[in-house]
Amino acid sequence: MKILIKKILYKILNISETKNNVKCSGFSRGLQNVVFQGKNEVPDRCNFSGEITIGYATTLGYNNVLHGNIVIGKYCQLGFDVAIHSSNHPIYNLSSYINSNLFNGELVKFKTSEKIIIGNDVWIGHNVIIVGNVTVGNGAILAAGAVVTKDVEPYTIVGGVPAIKIKKRFKDSIIKEIEELEWWNKEGKELEDLKHLFIKNYKNKESIYE
């Protein structure tokens, strides 16, 4: 009986609801801090604080935490347990502790806040952490478990702790063509007409138009 009740409650609590072109499932906190650009998906247990913009068709993962000044582009995919923090505790003061239990929280003024910008068509794997003043270029892939503390070039795969460059996804000539194409800014028939470019494999190719 208990198992049945748990299953029923789970289904009820995870019913998806679409509001303002954003599909939400379960319970997430701080949605009022986010500007959604439409066709977004927010699963259970996401947490938002600060000033956040999430681009068109970008989908989040279970238990994502986004804190600070963050801009995420269009058509991005975030895996489970991704954490993005643009603010940090002081490291050169006597203490890094900034909570109210010490001097009524006066030390919070030493907290630093940067900006994190994530481009379009970025894939952020499971359990990735992004911190500090970081820009992630279009088409980048952040491998599962990576801790990203520095800028990531467009169409580059990074991984590790701290994250380092593994390789570029394509040759520079192809990266240049995709950046010029800016397919993520197209819609309707214009995007449909480019569909044939999406089903090609560009490994060892020189151009997307070959």
Q: The domain spanning residue 108 has which CATH number?
A: 2.160.10.10
* Pair (46, 97) in one structural domain: yes
Do 93 and 80 share a structural domain? yes
Q: What is the pLDDT along the chain (210 residues), one digit of tens a residue?
A: 667 665 555 555 555 566 667 889 888 999 999 999 999 999 999 999 999 999 999 999 999 999 999 999 999 999 999 999 998 888 899 999 999 999 998 989 998 888 999 999 999 999 999 998 999 999 999 999 999 999 999 999 999 999 999 999 999 999 999 999 999 999 999 999 999 999 999 999 999 998
Per the CB < 8 A criterion, the answer to whether 52 and 66 are in contact is yes
Based on the domain organization, do 154 and 203 belong to the same domain? no
Residues 181 and 153 in one domain: no
pTM: predicted TM-score of the whole model, two decimal places: 0.88
Question: Does one domain contain both 115 and 188?
Answer: no
Same domain, 193 and 147: no
Q: Which of 169, 186, 201 is the last residue of a domain?
A: 169
pLDDT score for 17: 63
Residues 35 and 89 in one domain: yes
Backbone angles phi, psi at 134, to 5 degrees: -125, 140
Residues 159 and 182 both lie in one domain? no
Q: Which residues lie below 8 Å from residue 188, measured CB to CB, with a gap of 6+?
A: none
* Closest alpha carbon to 78 in 23, 129, 13: 129
Residues 79, 149, single domain; the answer is: yes
If asked whether residues 29 and 116 sit together in one domain, one would say yes
Active-site positions read: 89
Our count of domains for the chain comes to: 2
- The rounded distance, in Å, linking the Cα atoms of 120 and 133 is 18
The answer on 192 and 108 residing in a single domain is: no
Domain that residue 208 falls in = 171-210
pLDDT of amino acid 112: 86
Does residue 106 share a domain with residue 184?
A: no
What is the predicted pLDDT for the residue at 43? 94
